[in-house]
Amino acid sequence: MDLSKFKELYISEVETQIQKLNDNLLALEKTPEEKSILNDLMRSSHTIKGSSATMSYNHMATLSHVLEDIFDNARKGTLALSKGIMNELFNGFDALEKSLSAIKDTGVELDSTELSEKIKVLCTDSTKKVVSKVAAKTPTAPTKETDDFNEAFLNKDQTIDEISRVKVPIHRLDDLMDITEELLVNKMRIESLSAGLIDPKTAKSALIELKPAVEQLSRLVMDLQFNVLQARLVPLEQIFSRFPRMVRDLAQKQNKEIELKINGSEIELDRTIVDKLGGPIIHLLRNAIDHGIEQKGTISITAKHQKDYITLVIEDDGRGIDWDKVITSAIESNIISSEEGTKLKTSKNQKGMEKLLFDPRLSTKGEVTEISGRGVGLSAVQQFVEEISGRIIIKSPLEEGSGTRFTLELPLTLAIIDALLVRVKDQTMAIPFSSIERTVHVEQKDIKTIADHETAIVAGTDVPLIRLEQVFKDTFAKEDEKEQKDGPITVVLVKRGKEVAGIVVDELLAQQEIIIKPLPQTLSTIKGFAGSTILGDGRTVLILDLVSLLSYISGH
Amino acid sequence: MADTKILIVDDSAFMRSVLKNILEGAGYSNFVEGENGNDARTKTDSEAPALILLDLIMPETGGMGIIAELSQKAKVIVISAVGQDESVNEAKANGASDYIVKPFENDQVVNTINKVLGL
């Protein structure tokens, strides 16, 4: 039988079961006497075994089989789950997960014979011990192997898989369908009205009716945009579900006892934000575990709906931030002078001190951040928040020198567009994809200059050329030498309605989704830009506004 | 034969799809699905299937405990990844007409079903 058509269903089902295994084993660590958890664990392994065997993924089947045996024995009371066994079980879950993603990417599972054997032996050995009543205490200190495993796991988990699929509730799709149908009706109406414009007899009435029709169109397009944004929402659960395992492993590695409380994982945010959120939260959690909590403590992650944004609060009850030490470190790292530092120590200006904490130069010095209590990667956290037009608020200490609270304010949805990033001289700019017709190479011989204006012949048609360095003279660095090229030039053909123009660029960089941020008030009078965006590397890039650029052409 | 109603009970949607696909290949087309033992009971009463393909290890109510009850109302074939003889014997003693161990061959499934239905 051709099983390939069941592969997707298999993958998504096994993914869910592996997450269940992780959740349940974490729960079992807290309440080891809970028999029903063992039943669930056994059932999940059993389901994975059956499905994997059916798909002929025999390594997956064998590994889940030995896991099932362990849970079955534990359930019957013939095997005690020591800390060492627990770690191996988690190890096994990770191996299943890795193999599953290999299946997803390459179609071939990974060889897990060694691990399966190891877990099997572990199980039989321990069973014998329990059965023969040899009370051997399993070592509680992490062994070398579990250390390696933790290392591997944590490295792996520094990045959370990008969300490539979203589950959309049927009613949202139905709404989209409804709008699409209305749009079709509206389109036919506008078509027939515009046909009516040609005939003088019907022209006047058509003109009168056109206005409400266009108004309806704009309402429908707004509805459409709203609904599409809604369909992009995914629950925070998608990334939060990773954290219990991560915190457990980190805490165990440092011999700390940390409880993680998560609230509001059902709250939904735009996929792009959720995708980007994983890294910053991991930074904050790691900071709290490494530098905040000393022996025993609690970390909480709480997501809450506010009026038109979401707050995400990450709080710990460890030692708070020692701001004096932050200032001292900043002086040592030459971020501020010692006079400025002394002033800041007296004034305790919160804004000023926070700025230091977020300074990337502060976070590069490992031992400095170690004593300041916080720091590693905070500049990255701030950059993320800025990228999505959010805000970050720090409160520390919360009381009497202890406790730290980071509050991230995140927008509910984003204005996201597909754009082409191009280089023009020393500048990178973004051109909205929706306005791009195509890109072409134009030979020098096909460029004519008429009345000071350049025109290129593209497929037999004259296309006016826009040289951005001439339109925005101030934006570009003064040219020392004219970069006169003899070869063909790269031109991005853009259009709006019937108007077509060619933007001359030096290089096509990439196509990517960007988040539009409005220009600050002071810059909003500048024509030619629709806004700006911050790229992954932190650079701010301007987004071209084709409407005003094209009118610039026709104005000449 | 095409309208022989078959109830497929398995907590894995993947397994149900695979089984359905095999049965469709053999000419069956009338299916009802269930996810656990309770589902199996309710749907046996409301849908009156001629045959029930029953998984054993499922959340809430498993399969083993309801074979006796279901086999009064329809033919029951157990399809499970549990392959031990004790389990097979227990299921048959409870009234299962046959027992297929996962992973299975297509022909094995089709032949067993046809045999149990007397086709």
The CA radius of gyration of chain A, in Å to the nearest whole number, is 30
Q: Compare all CA atoms of chain A with the CA of B10 and give the residue at the minimum distance.
A: A47
Amino acid at A441: H
Pair A199, A131 in one domain: no
CB-CB contact of B1 with B119 (8 Å)? yes
**How high is the pLDDT of residue A150?**
38
Q: How far is A11 from chain B (nearest CA, A)?
A: 9
Q: Is A374 contained in some domain?
A: no
Pair A511, A458 in one domain: yes
Positions in chain A short of pLDDT 70: 1, 125-166, 307, 363-377, 475, 477-485, 521, 524, 554-556
The last residue of one of the domains, among A124, A140, A156, is: A140
Instruction: Please indicate whether residue A143 or residue B90 has the higher confidence score (pLDDT).
Output: B90
Q: Which domain holds residue A60?
A: 4-140
Whether B57 and A9 lie within 8 Å, measured CB to CB: no
**How high is the pLDDT of residue A485?**
61
- Mean pLDDT over residues B89-103, rounded? 94
Tens of pLDDT, residue by residue over A55-99, are 999 999 999 999 998 998 888 888 888 888 888 999 999 999 999
| Three state DSSP letters for A170-233 | HHHHHHHHHHHHHHHHHHHHHHHHHHHHHCHHHHHHHHHHHHHHHHHHHHHHHHHHHHHHHHCE
Q: Is A249 contained in some domain?
A: no
Q: Is A406 contained in some domain?
A: no
> Which residues lie closer than 8 Å to A470 by C-beta, 6 or more apart?
none
Q: Is A484 contained in some domain?
A: yes
Instruction: Please indicate whether residue A413 or residue B34 has the higher confidence score (pLDDT).
Output: B34
Q: Is A217 contained in some domain?
A: yes
Whether B81 and A49 lie within 8 Å, measured CB to CB: yes
Q: Is A154 contained in some domain?
A: no
**How high is the pLDDT of residue A429?**
92
Pair A100, A207 in one domain: no
- Residue showing tokens 């003088």: A200
CB-CB contact of A508 with A490 (8 Å)? yes
Whether B14 and A13 lie within 8 Å, measured CB to CB: yes
Chain B residues with beta carbon closer than 8 angstroms to that of A36: none
A202 touching B (Cβ < 8 Å): no
Selecting from B15, B57, B106 the residue whose C-beta is nearest the C-beta of A1 gives: B106
B104 touching A (Cβ < 8 Å): yes
Q: Which residues are paired to A500 by β-bridges?
A: A495
Tell me if residue A503 falls in helix, strand or coil.
strand
| Among A residues 24-83, those touching chain B with beta carbons less than 8 Å apart | 40, 42-43, 46-47, 49-51, 53-54, 56, 61
**How high is the pLDDT of residue A153?**
39
Pair A428, A546 in one domain: yes
Q: How far is A31 from chain B (nearest CA, A)?
A: 20
Whether A47 and B103 lie within 8 Å, measured CB to CB: no
| Among A residues 72-131, those touching chain B with beta carbons less than 8 Å apart | none
B18 touching A (Cβ < 8 Å): yes
Q: What value of ipTM does the predicted structure carry?
A: 0.88
The last residue of one of the domains, among A97, A120, A140, is: A140
Number of domains in chain A: 3
CATH of domain B5-116: 3.40.50.2300
The CA radius of gyration of chain B, in Å to the nearest whole number, is 13
pLDDT at B56 > cutoff 90: yes
> Which residues lie closer than 8 Å to B45 by C-beta, 6 or more apart?
B73
Q: Is A534 contained in some domain?
A: yes
